[in-house]
């Protein structure tokens, strides 16, 4: 790879690159401020979607965010997502309610978090509801966590055990 090539061309560079790439992230306790902040970002995204608030949803994303949703829809860039969301709120997501879990948070580096969980979207345009797995990548820049990537998938065999259930009755 590039590290090997650099090691041959510039002695010491490959070793430094390898050392930084393999250094484990600092372990964090379950209730660490960073873990709480990461969970809060995801909660704010779901809350904004449930209020059909494109600006608030975009506010928790990086400028170059990208999202993939079933059945392969790709959305790129915070500005584009914010601009396109109102039309989705009036059509596909009209009268829908979303829930999500953050089951596992792994800090890949002090400024990069990987979050695995589940999602459910209940609404008239989601026959049988949309339930599946999600992975969210967040980055910390200038002390602020933001979503850099969101990947959602519905397993071929149906929703995973423990996928977030429908909202309580009376929820929007």
70-97 residue pLDDT tens = 767 899 999 999 999 999 899 989 999 9
- Tell whether the model's pLDDT for residue 11 goes beyond 50: no
**Helix or strand holding residue 34 (H, E):** helix 33-50
Helix 13-22 to helix 2-9 angle (10° resolution) is 150
Long-range CB contacts (within 8 A, 24+) of 1-5: none
17-50 residue pLDDT tens = 333 344 444 455 568 999 999 999 999 999 999 9
- Tell whether the model's pLDDT for residue 144 goes beyond 60: yes
110-134 residue pLDDT tens = 999 999 999 999 999 887 778 999 9
- 161 vs 130, residue with greater confidence: 130
Half-sphere exposure in the Cβ direction for 164 (13 Å, CA): 25
């Amino acid at each position: 790879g590039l590290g090997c090539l650099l090691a041959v061309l510039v002695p010491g560079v490959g070793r430094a690159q390898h050392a930084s790439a393999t250094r484990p992230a600092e372990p964090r306790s379950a209730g660490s401020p960073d873990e709480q902040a990461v969970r809060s970002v995801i909660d704010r995204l779901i809350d904004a979607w449930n209020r059909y608030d494109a600006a608030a949803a975009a506010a928790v994303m990086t400028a170059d965010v990208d999202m993939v949703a079933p059945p392969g829809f790709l959305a790129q860039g915070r500005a584009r997502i914010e601009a396109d969301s109102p039309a989705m709120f009036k059509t596909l997501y009209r009268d829908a309610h979303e829930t999500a879990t953050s089951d596992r948070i792994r800090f890949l580096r002090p400024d990069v978090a990987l979050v695995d969980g589940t999602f459910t979207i209940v609404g008239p345009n989601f026959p049988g509801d949309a339930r599946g797995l999600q992975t969210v990548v967040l980055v910390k820049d200038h002390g602020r966590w933001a979503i850099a990537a969101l990947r959602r998938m519905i397993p071929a065999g149906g929703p995973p055990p423990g996928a977030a259930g429908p909202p309580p009755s009376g929820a929007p």
